[in-house]
A and B are shown apart, each in its own frame.
Chain A
Protein backbone atom coordinates (compact mmCIF):
# COMPACT_ATOMS: atom_id res chain seq x y z
CA UNK A 1 0.00 0.00 0.00
CA UNK A 2 1.39 3.42 -0.91
CA UNK A 3 2.53 5.55 1.98
CA UNK A 4 3.99 8.94 2.73
CA UNK A 5 7.65 8.81 3.70
CA UNK A 6 9.74 11.39 5.54
CA UNK A 7 13.44 11.86 6.09
CA UNK A 8 15.26 12.13 8.34
CA UNK A 9 13.39 10.56 11.22
CA UNK A 10 15.32 12.71 13.68
CA UNK A 11 17.24 15.91 13.07
CA UNK A 12 19.34 17.69 15.66
CA UNK A 13 20.53 21.18 14.86
CA UNK A 14 21.99 24.24 16.50
CA UNK A 15 19.90 27.37 16.94
CA UNK A 16 20.24 29.64 13.93
CA UNK A 17 21.03 26.85 11.50
CA UNK A 18 18.96 26.02 8.45
CA UNK A 19 17.19 22.69 8.21
CA UNK A 20 15.37 21.00 5.37
CA UNK A 21 12.81 18.33 6.14
CA UNK A 22 11.96 16.02 3.28
CA UNK A 23 8.78 14.21 2.37
CA UNK A 24 7.75 11.95 -0.46
CA UNK A 25 3.95 12.09 -0.76
CA UNK A 26 1.85 9.34 -2.29
CA UNK A 27 2.51 9.46 -6.00
CA UNK A 28 -0.91 10.34 -7.41
CA UNK A 29 -1.80 12.83 -4.72
CA UNK A 30 -2.27 16.46 -5.54
CA UNK A 31 -2.48 18.29 -2.20
CA UNK A 32 0.33 18.46 0.29
CA UNK A 33 0.51 19.65 3.87
CA UNK A 34 2.90 20.23 6.72
CA UNK A 35 1.80 20.01 10.34
CA UNK A 36 3.78 20.15 13.53
CA UNK A 37 3.29 18.75 17.00
CA UNK A 38 5.19 20.29 19.87
CA UNK A 39 5.76 17.66 22.56
CA UNK A 40 2.59 17.11 24.55
CA UNK A 41 0.53 19.51 22.46
CA UNK A 42 -1.95 19.21 19.65
CA UNK A 43 -1.10 18.75 16.00
CA UNK A 44 -1.08 22.17 14.31
CA UNK A 45 -1.50 23.04 10.65
CA UNK A 46 1.41 24.90 9.07
CA UNK A 47 0.84 25.08 5.33
CA UNK A 48 -0.96 23.56 2.39
CA UNK A 49 0.45 23.33 -1.13
CA UNK A 50 -1.25 22.73 -4.44
CA UNK A 51 -0.30 23.21 -8.05
CA UNK A 52 3.22 24.27 -7.07
CA UNK A 53 2.20 27.07 -4.80
CA UNK A 54 1.13 27.69 -1.23
CA UNK A 55 -2.65 27.60 -0.98
CA UNK A 56 -2.97 28.41 2.71
CA UNK A 57 -0.67 28.99 5.65
CA UNK A 58 -1.11 29.48 9.36
CA UNK A 59 0.22 32.29 11.49
CA UNK A 60 2.98 29.94 12.61
CA UNK A 61 4.32 29.76 9.06
CA UNK A 62 6.29 32.99 9.06
CA UNK A 63 9.11 34.17 6.81
CA UNK A 64 11.50 31.67 8.37
CA UNK A 65 9.56 28.84 6.76
CA UNK A 66 9.32 27.88 3.12
CA UNK A 67 8.09 24.90 1.16
CA UNK A 68 9.06 23.55 -2.19
CA UNK A 69 8.30 20.72 -4.54
CA UNK A 70 11.63 20.59 -6.34
CA UNK A 71 10.74 17.65 -8.54
CA UNK A 72 7.81 15.37 -9.19
CA UNK A 73 8.16 13.41 -5.99
CA UNK A 74 9.69 15.38 -3.12
CA UNK A 75 8.04 18.00 -0.93
CA UNK A 76 10.31 19.91 1.42
CA UNK A 77 9.95 22.20 4.41
CA UNK A 78 12.83 24.57 5.04
CA UNK A 79 13.39 26.50 8.23
CA UNK A 80 15.97 29.20 7.52
CA UNK A 81 17.17 30.07 11.00
CA UNK A 82 15.93 27.63 13.60
CA UNK A 83 14.82 28.72 17.04
CA UNK A 84 14.52 26.67 20.20
CA UNK A 85 10.73 26.81 19.90
CA UNK A 86 10.88 25.12 16.50
CA UNK A 87 11.65 21.86 18.29
CA UNK A 88 8.73 19.61 17.42
CA UNK A 89 7.61 16.63 15.39
CA UNK A 90 6.88 17.69 11.83
CA UNK A 91 4.38 15.69 9.83
CA UNK A 92 3.91 15.74 6.10
CA UNK A 93 0.53 14.73 4.68
CA UNK A 94 -1.00 14.35 1.26
CA UNK A 95 -4.37 13.74 -0.29
CA UNK A 96 -5.67 12.95 -3.73
CA UNK A 97 -8.62 15.17 -4.34
CA UNK A 98 -10.00 18.55 -3.48
CA UNK A 99 -12.40 19.01 -0.60
CA UNK A 100 -15.40 20.46 -2.33
CA UNK A 101 -18.31 19.87 -0.04
CA UNK A 102 -16.36 17.19 1.82
CA UNK A 103 -12.80 17.03 3.03
CA UNK A 104 -10.92 13.93 1.99
CA UNK A 105 -8.64 11.77 4.06
CA UNK A 106 -5.10 12.99 4.47
CA UNK A 107 -2.36 10.40 4.71
CA UNK A 108 0.40 11.24 7.12
CA UNK A 109 4.04 10.36 7.11
CA UNK A 110 5.81 9.01 10.21
CA UNK A 111 7.19 12.44 11.06
CA UNK A 112 10.58 14.06 11.55
CA UNK A 113 11.53 14.92 15.09
CA UNK A 114 13.42 18.21 15.03
CA UNK A 115 15.51 19.10 18.05
CA UNK A 116 17.00 22.59 18.18
CA UNK A 117 19.80 23.05 20.72
Chain B
Protein backbone atom coordinates (compact mmCIF):
# COMPACT_ATOMS: atom_id res chain seq x y z
CA UNK B 1 0.00 0.00 0.00
CA UNK B 2 0.92 3.67 -0.06
CA UNK B 3 3.05 5.05 2.73
CA UNK B 4 5.15 8.03 3.73
CA UNK B 5 8.29 7.94 5.85
CA UNK B 6 9.54 11.11 7.42
CA UNK B 7 12.62 11.82 9.48
CA UNK B 8 12.01 11.91 13.18
CA UNK B 9 12.32 15.02 15.21
CA UNK B 10 12.62 17.17 17.02
CA UNK B 11 15.00 19.12 14.86
CA UNK B 12 16.53 22.02 16.75
CA UNK B 13 18.22 24.79 14.80
CA UNK B 14 19.52 28.26 15.32
CA UNK B 15 17.99 31.15 13.44
CA UNK B 16 19.36 31.51 9.87
CA UNK B 17 20.44 27.87 9.76
CA UNK B 18 19.66 25.59 6.81
CA UNK B 19 16.77 23.20 7.28
CA UNK B 20 16.24 19.85 5.58
CA UNK B 21 13.46 17.43 6.45
CA UNK B 22 13.62 14.13 4.63
CA UNK B 23 10.51 12.49 3.21
CA UNK B 24 10.32 9.31 1.17
CA UNK B 25 7.28 7.51 -0.10
CA UNK B 26 5.99 4.31 -1.61
CA UNK B 27 3.04 4.48 -3.92
CA UNK B 28 1.43 2.96 -6.93
CA UNK B 29 0.63 5.15 -9.87
CA UNK B 30 1.43 8.84 -9.91
CA UNK B 31 0.69 10.44 -6.57
CA UNK B 32 0.83 14.10 -5.73
CA UNK B 33 3.03 15.14 -2.84
CA UNK B 34 2.42 17.81 -0.24
CA UNK B 35 4.00 19.47 2.74
CA UNK B 36 1.66 20.72 5.44
CA UNK B 37 2.67 22.77 8.47
CA UNK B 38 1.02 22.79 11.88
CA UNK B 39 1.82 25.73 14.13
CA UNK B 40 1.27 25.30 17.86
CA UNK B 41 -2.44 25.10 18.66
CA UNK B 42 -3.48 25.37 15.03
CA UNK B 43 -4.63 23.11 12.21
CA UNK B 44 -2.88 21.90 9.10
CA UNK B 45 -1.91 24.49 6.55
CA UNK B 46 -0.73 23.67 3.06
CA UNK B 47 2.87 24.77 2.66
CA UNK B 48 3.63 23.53 -0.85
CA UNK B 49 2.88 20.76 -3.29
CA UNK B 50 4.11 19.01 -6.43
CA UNK B 51 1.96 16.98 -8.73
CA UNK B 52 4.42 15.22 -11.02
CA UNK B 53 8.02 14.08 -11.19
CA UNK B 54 10.66 16.84 -11.21
CA UNK B 55 8.12 19.47 -10.17
CA UNK B 56 9.40 21.84 -7.52
CA UNK B 57 6.97 23.27 -5.01
CA UNK B 58 7.91 26.47 -3.20
CA UNK B 59 6.37 28.84 -0.70
CA UNK B 60 7.64 31.22 2.02
CA UNK B 61 11.25 30.30 1.28
CA UNK B 62 10.59 26.55 1.53
CA UNK B 63 11.21 24.26 -1.42
CA UNK B 64 10.73 20.58 -2.23
CA UNK B 65 11.35 18.67 -5.45
CA UNK B 66 9.37 15.58 -6.45
CA UNK B 67 12.05 12.96 -7.21
CA UNK B 68 10.54 9.85 -8.72
CA UNK B 69 13.87 8.06 -9.10
CA UNK B 70 14.54 8.27 -5.36
CA UNK B 71 10.84 8.40 -4.32
CA UNK B 72 11.59 11.46 -2.23
CA UNK B 73 10.17 14.91 -1.51
CA UNK B 74 12.60 16.51 0.91
CA UNK B 75 11.71 19.90 2.36
CA UNK B 76 14.40 22.59 2.51
CA UNK B 77 14.74 26.16 3.62
CA UNK B 78 17.93 28.13 3.34
CA UNK B 79 17.57 30.38 6.39
CA UNK B 80 15.02 29.55 9.07
CA UNK B 81 13.37 32.01 11.43
CA UNK B 82 11.97 31.52 14.91
CA UNK B 83 8.51 31.80 13.35
CA UNK B 84 9.20 28.60 11.37
CA UNK B 85 8.97 26.59 14.58
CA UNK B 86 6.18 24.12 13.91
CA UNK B 87 5.44 20.50 13.02
CA UNK B 88 5.89 19.67 9.35
CA UNK B 89 3.98 16.83 7.70
CA UNK B 90 4.78 15.20 4.40
CA UNK B 91 1.67 13.83 2.68
CA UNK B 92 0.90 11.74 -0.35
CA UNK B 93 -2.31 12.13 -2.29
CA UNK B 94 -3.44 8.88 -3.80
CA UNK B 95 -4.47 8.63 -7.41
CA UNK B 96 -7.75 6.88 -6.83
CA UNK B 97 -10.83 9.01 -7.34
CA UNK B 98 -11.36 9.79 -3.69
CA UNK B 99 -7.86 11.10 -3.13
CA UNK B 100 -7.35 10.35 0.53
CA UNK B 101 -4.05 11.47 1.99
CA UNK B 102 -1.37 9.38 3.66
CA UNK B 103 0.64 11.42 6.13
CA UNK B 104 4.10 10.97 7.50
CA UNK B 105 4.61 11.00 11.24
CA UNK B 106 5.47 14.69 11.31
CA UNK B 107 8.73 16.40 12.20
CA UNK B 108 8.85 18.99 14.93
CA UNK B 109 11.18 21.88 14.14
CA UNK B 110 12.37 24.19 16.88
CA UNK B 111 14.24 27.33 15.85
CA UNK B 112 16.06 29.21 18.59
CA UNK B 113 17.16 32.86 18.43
Residues of A near any B CB (own CB < 8 A): 31, 33, 35, 41-45, 48, 50, 55-56, 91, 93, 95, 98-111
Closest chain A CB from B25 CB (angstroms)? 12
Residues of B near any A CB (own CB < 8 A): 29-32, 34, 36, 42-46, 49, 51-52, 89, 91, 93-106
| Contact yes or no, B101 A35, CB < 8 A | yes
Q: Give the tally of cross-chain contacts (CB within 8 A).
A: 83
A12-B59 Cα distance, complex, nearest whole Å: 37
| Contact yes or no, A48 B100, CB < 8 A | yes
Q: Which of A31, A43, A91 contacts B99 (CB 8 A)?
A: A31
Q: List 18 A-B contacts (CB under 8 A).
A: A33-B101, A42-B105, A42-B106, A43-B89, A55-B97, A55-B98, A56-B100, A99-B94, A99-B95, A100-B95, A100-B97, A101-B30, A103-B93, A105-B34, A106-B99, A106-B101, A107-B46, A108-B44
